[in-house]
């Protein structure tokens, strides 16, 4: 048990100050904007809960737009989770157990994770083009008419493939770490018990992966829920609004249209939602940390 | 056994191809690029790279990016080290809440902060300087560093602190001479991830700069919207942004999962 | 139910073993009888776990054959050897109940539900797990978990042998004795061949009918606990078994006498002049400080309550001796009496037989 000492606050003070400056102050501005309306020239009027009412009213222009972006974002998160988690587990199960093969595998897998997000966009913008990109040319070569700039389905397909390319390795590396923590005795016991491959996965590997999977799913959900740069570079949110996710919409509203009140209200609701998920994450994490068995 | 091999190799190939395509393009002329798909540069050229290294509007982007990334990494680590020590060694008033609050900043959408940051840094006169971006990136990098370092520090037995105290070390001397060397790995990992997350971010970096401190990422997006796309140049610029990651990837390969999972694996 | 034969089994982890040192396990021939309990005893790195892994099929021996009831199983995978194993750390399936854990090996072999349930109940009642049958296995104590791992082996009718790999390592000291008694009871009830790996001599001596003492990849002696105590074949066995271990003194031997640093010890038999390095060994239990005998220097006396042990020196050579219950030792001078029949002669660490 850690000793209690409130003087530890002195050590935390710098972090506290930085976070106060970089998070709290800006958020207060947002709150301030969210209850006002402006007609330009820095003239502000009290608008109370007006923006929030409009935002949460699906029949209004703002509400409709917000809910549409939210819906798109949730579908996007659900789809990439449904692909990345099973694929990540599969890849982790296929990874070598050691030696130079493992080192090479890890390095190649880590590569996409370290690519600047706008470059991820650039890579796929090029790679998926029918005229100059290998991927686009190959898909079109199969006889499928594929053009992410003109067709909403193709745009979604591109954005999803891009995210799978970008982030599946994270799930795989997490799962690999989880698998490595399983003592050999479990596999040996399963062989003695006559368990098949599926039974081993179902009864040994999957339960032991629970902890890393919770972390992986929450991280991927949160990060996909605030995705901006990659789809922005590839599709710019289009065609039409088909790939306009929450962050893209918010930036359009705030920095494109300078609709400060609306953008602020949307920011707050958006932030509140991530805060909620974050809380789930934190609770899950502390519980898993506490329940963590001492591994031999 | 062979099925496992095949799956893994397919996956690794799928990961490498897009990157290969970028590298491939960066060595081509625009004529060759627009002429259609070719699997390798038939007339390899370094012209795109030469252009970037000689044109100040390009290479200044890299200098600007590196500047704020380095400032941010130093700043994040400097704040995070004592805080992580506090979290790993003591219980104190509101520790759990503070820890959660830090995490919530790592998870907050940068889009929410773009506008207020724009106002805030304009008001304090930091707009369009590397400091604005460096401070803005602290939003998610300070919590990240605290979480990662806390994980590494908690693995160091507390008896070491007590022994040093008995041996008459003052706290700053103990921290600098004994404790920091013990968690050197952790500091390296935390620094790498601060660097990386600051390096890959575009939204805030673009919002907080116009001319003088414009990062390479923003310069690249500007080129995209320009008429007459210079694909080769864009590809070369992209390849150069991969270098920091590619250079140290070997050393951090075993810590990648840990860094992304906030030190919780 | 089976007899296990190790026919010239040896193992090296490296690719091309040349010298003895390359072998984790040197060639050995052993026959383990159905219905008996054996312990593999030795310090860490002595090859006992390698031997266990060869029997369970985790490790393929470099040379030699492994026979179960005369059938060559050397090349068979673990799952076809019909063995059960209890590991150092409890291995249980976290997501299942205790009953689910016990039923797992049977279900994997396609046994019908009614039969599975009957077998599970039978095994659970034998191990005292009936009360917790429907509880999640995850939440039980370490000793209950070890019983479950044992149960997963016993639940099968066709088990040839049960292997234990230091199964008491993580058990609370107070519960070790109880779990060990449970193992003994199961052994008596089921008439199984059991092989128990440990570095703890108390565990080995109390559990096994036959103890196999190993060191440096070799089997040094196979015998009952009494044999290992009374007649260690090798100086290592003498030293390793018993607490404290056997005293070993460099000596020269001629006829029925041994000379240690100028002092003469009477032996029970006649010995041919031994070659190599000669030592005499005597257990502290049979070397007693008494009124008469060889003069020794007393360095220290430890009172262990039940017995008093003296650290003494005979000439230059230290040894441990018992202090007779009524003996009062004054100063540093004392007399040592050794039962001649309890003195063994070793030549190059091997026990020599009298002529």
CATH value at residue C31: 3.40.50.300
CATH number at residue C278: 2.40.50.140
pLDDT classification of C176: cutoffs 50, 70, 90: confident
Is B117 at the interface with chain A, CB within 8 A? yes
Intra-chain end-to-end CA distance of chain C, in Å: 42
Q: How far apart are CA A107 and CA B247, in angstroms?
A: 11
Asked if residue B145 has pLDDT above 60, the reply is yes
Range with top average pLDDT, A42-46, A239-243, B153-157? B153-157
pLDDT recorded at residue B249: 81
Which of C240, C258, C273 is the last residue in one of the domains? C240
Q: Do C180 and C38 share a domain, yes or no?
A: yes
Of A121-125, B140-144, C13-17, C277-281, where does mean pLDDT reach its minimum?
C13-17
Number of domain units in chain A: 1
- Contact (CB, 8 A) for A149 and B236: no
Element (H or E) spanning A36, and its range? strand A36-38
Q: Are strands C350-351 and C317-323 parallel, antiparallel or unpaired?
A: unpaired
Q: What angle do CA C6, A191, C122 make, to 5 degrees?
A: 90
**Could you give the residue ranges of the DSSP H alpha helices within chain B?**
2-26, 30-34, 47-54, 56-89, 95-106, 110-123, 130-154, 159-166, 171-173, 180-182, 184-200, 203-207, 216-225, 231-252, 256-260
Is B181 at the interface with chain A, CB within 8 A? no
pLDDT recorded at residue C12: 87
- Domain span at residue C321? 247-351
> What is the rounded average pLDDT of the residues C142-158?
88
Please indicate whether, in this complex, the C-beta atoms of A193 and C56 are within 8 angstroms of each other: no
Q: How far apart are CA A15 and CA B228, in angstroms?
A: 46
> What is the rounded average pLDDT of the residues C184-192?
85
Among partner residues C85, C88, C95, which is closest to A192 by beta-carbon distance? C85
pLDDT recorded at residue C40: 92
Mutation site, C79, C158, C170, interface A, largest A CB count within 10 A: C79
C84 token code pair: 């059960």
pLDDT recorded at residue C160: 83
- Domain span at residue A156? 65-291
In terms of pLDDT, which residue wins out, C83 or B224?
C83
Which residues on chain A are in Cβ contact (under 8 Å) with B158? 2
Q: How far apart are CA A245 and CA A248, in angstroms?
A: 5
What are the tens digits of pLDDT across the range B207-256?
A: 888 888 888 888 887 655 444 678 888 888 889 988 888 887 887 777 87
Q: Do C301 and C197 share a domain, yes or no?
A: no
Q: How far apart are CA C73 and CA C9, in angstroms?
A: 12
Asked if residue A165 has pLDDT above 90, the reply is yes
Which of C240, C262, C295 is the last residue in one of the domains? C240
Cα B87 to its chain centre, rounded Å, is 24
Mutation site, B1, B8, B150, B232, interface A, largest A CB count within 10 A: B8
Percent of chain B with pLDDT over 70: 96
Long-range contacts (CB closer than 8 Å, 24 or more residues apart) made by C183-190? C183/C150, C183/C207, C184/C37, C186/C126, C186/C127, C186/C150, C186/C154, C187/C37, C189/C126, C190/C154
pLDDT recorded at residue A40: 59
Residue C279's φ and ψ, nearest 5 degrees, are -135, 150
- CATH classification of B55-260 is 3.40.50.1970, yes or no? no
Shortest distance, CA C56 to any CA of chain A (angstroms): 8
Give the nearest chain B residue to A127 (CA atoms).
Answer: B18
Is A209 domain-assigned? yes
Question: Maximum CA pair distance of chain B?
Answer: 74
What are the tens digits of pLDDT across the range A142-152?
A: 888 888 888 88
Is A181 at the interface with chain C, CB within 8 A? no
Q: Which chains have 3 or more CB–CB distances shorter than 8 Å to chain A?
A: B, C
Among partner residues A107, A255, A277, which is closest to B115 by beta-carbon distance? A255
What are the tens digits of pLDDT across the range A134-143?
A: 888 888 888 8
Asked if residue C236 has pLDDT above 90, the reply is yes
CATH number at residue A195: 1.10.3720.10
The mean pLDDT value of chain A amounts to 85
Q: Do C279 and C160 share a domain, yes or no?
A: no
Asked if residue A110 has pLDDT above 80, the reply is yes
Q: Do C187 and C329 share a domain, yes or no?
A: no
Instruction: Map tokens 């799913």 to a residue.
Output: A217
Number of domain units in chain C: 2
pLDDT recorded at residue B185: 84
Is A18 domain-assigned? no
- Contact (CB, 8 A) for C154 and C126: yes
Q: Where in chain B is the domain with CATH 1.10.3720.10?
A: 55-260
Asked if residue B117 has pLDDT above 80, the reply is yes
The 8-class DSSP code of residue A111 comes to G
Asked if residue A11 has pLDDT above 70, the reply is yes
> What is the rounded average pLDDT of the residues B75-94?
90
Selected residues 72-91 of chain A with any CB under 8 Å from a CB in chain C: none
The whole-model pTM stands at: 0.83
Element (H or E) spanning A45, and its range? strand A44-46
Is A261 domain-assigned? yes
Please indicate whether, in this complex, the C-beta atoms of C78 and A208 are within 8 angstroms of each other: no
Instruction: Map tokens 């996409």 to a residue.
Output: A112
pLDDT recorded at residue C184: 85
Please indicate whether, in this complex, the C-beta atoms of A192 and C77 are within 8 angstroms of each other: no
Mutation site, B4, B7, B11, interface A, largest A CB count within 10 A: B11
Q: How far apart are CA C312 and CA C330, in angstroms?
A: 13
Q: Do C42 and C135 share a domain, yes or no?
A: yes
Please indicate whether, in this complex, the C-beta atoms of C56 and A183 are within 8 angstroms of each other: no
Task: Please count the other Cβ atoms lying within 10 Å of the Cβ belonging to residue B6.
Answer: 11
Among partner residues B5, B207, B221, which is closest to A118 by beta-carbon distance? B221
> What is the rounded average pLDDT of the residues C227-255?
90
> What is the rounded average pLDDT of the residues B134-154?
89
- Contact (CB, 8 A) for C203 and C196: yes
Which residues on chain B are in Cβ contact (under 8 Å) with A251? 111, 114, 203
Q: Do C265 and C222 share a domain, yes or no?
A: no
- Contact (CB, 8 A) for A138 and A85: no
Which of C193, C211, C240 is the last residue in one of the domains? C240
pLDDT recorded at residue A295: 41
> What is the rounded average pLDDT of the residues C58-70?
88
Please indicate whether, in this complex, the C-beta atoms of C87 and A192 are within 8 angstroms of each other: no
> What is the rounded average pLDDT of the residues A34-55?
70
pLDDT classification of A296: cutoffs 50, 70, 90: very low
Percent of chain C with pLDDT over 70: 99
> What is the rounded average pLDDT of the residues A165-193?
90
> What is the rounded average pLDDT of the residues C255-275?
85
DSSP codes of every residue in B94-142: THHHHHHHHHHHHTS-HHHHHHHHHHHHHHTT-TTSHHHHHHHHHHHHH
C253 token code pair: 């031997």
Q: Do C261 and C122 share a domain, yes or no?
A: no
> What is the rounded average pLDDT of the residues B101-121?
84
Q: Do C216 and C260 share a domain, yes or no?
A: no
Question: Side-chain half-sphere of C334: how many Cα atoms within 13 Å?
Answer: 27
Among partner residues C79, C88, C109, which is closest to A191 by beta-carbon distance? C79
Is A294 at the interface with chain C, CB within 8 A? no
Asked if residue A293 has pLDDT above 70, the reply is no
Percent of chain A with pLDDT over 70: 95
pLDDT recorded at residue A43: 66
């Amino acid at each position: 048990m850690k000793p209690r000492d409130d003087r530890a606050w002195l050590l935390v003070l710098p972090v506290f100050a930085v976070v106060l400056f970089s998070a709290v102050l800006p958020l207060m501005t947002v709150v301030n904007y969210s209850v006002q309306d402006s007609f330009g020239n820095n003239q502000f009027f009290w608008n109370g809960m007006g923006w929030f009412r409009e935002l949460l009213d699906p029949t209004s222009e703002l509400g409709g737009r917000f809910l549409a972006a939210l819906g798109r974002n949730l579908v996007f998160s659900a789809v990439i989770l449904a692909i990345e988690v099973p694929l990540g587990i599969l890849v982790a199960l296929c990874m070598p157990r050691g030696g130079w093969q493992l080192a090479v595998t890890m390095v190649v897998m880590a590569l996409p994770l370290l690519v600047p997000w706008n470059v991820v966009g650039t890579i796929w913008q090029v790679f998926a083009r029918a005229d100059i990109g290998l991927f686009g040319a190959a898909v079109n070569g199969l006889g499928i008419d594929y053009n992410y700039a003109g067709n909403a389905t193709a745009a979604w397909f591109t954005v999803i493939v891009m995210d799978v390319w970008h982030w599946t390795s994270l799930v795989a590396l997490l799962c690999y770490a989880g698998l490595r923590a399983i003592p050999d005795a479990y596999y040996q016991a399963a062989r003695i018990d006559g368990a098949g491959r599926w039974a081993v996965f179902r009864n040994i590997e999957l339960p032991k992966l629970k902890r890393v999977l919770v972390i992986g799913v929450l991280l991927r959900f949160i990060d996909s829920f605030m995705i901006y740069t990659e789809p922005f570079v590839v599709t710019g949110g289009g065609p039409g609004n088909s790939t306009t996710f929450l962050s893209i919409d918010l930036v359009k509203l705030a920095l494109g249209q300078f609709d400060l009140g609306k953008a602020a209200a949307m920011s707050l609701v958006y932030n509140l939602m991530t805060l909620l998920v974050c809380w789930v994450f934190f609770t899950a994490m502390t519980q898993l940390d506490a329940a963590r068995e001492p591994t031999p | 056994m062979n099925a496992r091999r095949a799956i893994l190799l397919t996956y690794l190939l799928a990961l490498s191809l897009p990157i290969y395509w970028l590298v491939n393009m960066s060595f081509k002329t625009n004529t060759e690029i627009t002429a259609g798909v070719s699997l390798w540069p038939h007339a390899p050229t370094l012209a795109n790279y030469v252009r970037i290294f000689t044109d100040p509007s390009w290479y200044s982007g890299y200098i600007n990016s590196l500047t704020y990334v380095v400032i941010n990494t130093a700043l994040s680590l400097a704040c995070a080290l004592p805080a992580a020590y506090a979290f790993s060694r003591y219980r104190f008033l509101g520790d759990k809440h503070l820890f959660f609050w830090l995490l919530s900043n790592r998870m907050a959408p940068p889009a929410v902060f773009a506008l207020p940051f724009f106002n805030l840094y304009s008001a304090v006169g930091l707009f369009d300087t590397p400091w604005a971006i460096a401070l803005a990136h602290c939003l998610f990098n300070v919590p990240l560093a605290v979480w990662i370092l806390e994980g590494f520090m908690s693995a160091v037995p507390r008896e070491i602190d007590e022994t040093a105290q008995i041996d008459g070390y003052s706290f700053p001397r103990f921290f600098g001479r004994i404790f920091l060397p013990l968690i050197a790995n952790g500091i390296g990992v935390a620094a790498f991830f601060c660097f990386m997350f600051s390096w890959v971010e575009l939204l805030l970096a673009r919002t907080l700069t116009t001319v003088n401190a414009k990062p390479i990422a923003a310069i690249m997006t500007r080129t995209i919207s320009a008429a007459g796309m210079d694909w080769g140049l864009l590809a070369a610029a992209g390849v150069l942004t991969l270098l920091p990651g590619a250079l140290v990837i070997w050393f951090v390969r075993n810590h990648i999962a840990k860094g992304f999972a906030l030190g919780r694996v | 139910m089976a007899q296990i034969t190790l026919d010239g089994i040896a193992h090296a982890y490296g690719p091309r073993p040349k010298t003895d040192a390359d072998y984790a396990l040197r060639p050995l021939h052993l026959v383990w009888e159905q219905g008996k309990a054996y312990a593999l005893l030795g310090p860490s790195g002595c090859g006992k776990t390698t031997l266990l892994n060869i029997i369970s099929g985790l490790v393929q021996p470099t040379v030699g054959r492994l026979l179960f009831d005369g059938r060559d199983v050397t090349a068979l995978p673990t799952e076809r050897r019909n063995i059960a194993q209890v590991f150092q750390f409890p291995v249980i399936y976290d997501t299942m109940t205790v009953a689910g854990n016990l039923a797992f090996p049977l279900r994997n072999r396609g046994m019908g539900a009614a039969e599975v349930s009957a077998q599970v109940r039978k095994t659970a009642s034998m191990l005292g797990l009936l009360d917790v049958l429907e509880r999640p296995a995850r939440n039980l104590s370490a000793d209950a978990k070890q019983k479950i791992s044992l149960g997963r082996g016993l639940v099968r009718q066709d088990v040839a042998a049960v292997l234990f790999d230091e199964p008491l390592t993580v058990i609370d000291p107070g519960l070790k004795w109880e779990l060990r008694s449970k193992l003994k009871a199961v052994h008596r009830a089921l008439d199984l061949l059991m092989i128990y790996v440990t570095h703890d001599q108390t565990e080995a001596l109390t559990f096994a009918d036959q103890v196999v003492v190993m060191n440096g990849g070799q089997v040094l002696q196979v015998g009952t606990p009494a044999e290992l105590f009374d007649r260690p074949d090798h100086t290592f066995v003498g030293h390793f078994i018993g607490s404290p271990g056997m005293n070993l003194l460099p000596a020269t031997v001629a006829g029925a006498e041994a000379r240690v640093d100028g002092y003469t010890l009477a032996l029970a038999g006649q010995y041919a002049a031994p070659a190599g390095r000669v030592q005499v060994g005597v257990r502290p239990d049979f070397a007693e400080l008494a009124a008469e005998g060889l003069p020794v220097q007393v360095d220290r006396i430890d009172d262990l309550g039940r017995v008093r042990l003296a650290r003494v020196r005979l000439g230059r050579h230290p040894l441990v001796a018992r202090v007779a219950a009524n003996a009062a030792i004054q100063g540093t001078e004392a007399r040592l009496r050794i039962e001649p029949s309890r003195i063994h002669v070793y030549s190059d660490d091997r026990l020599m037989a009298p002529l």
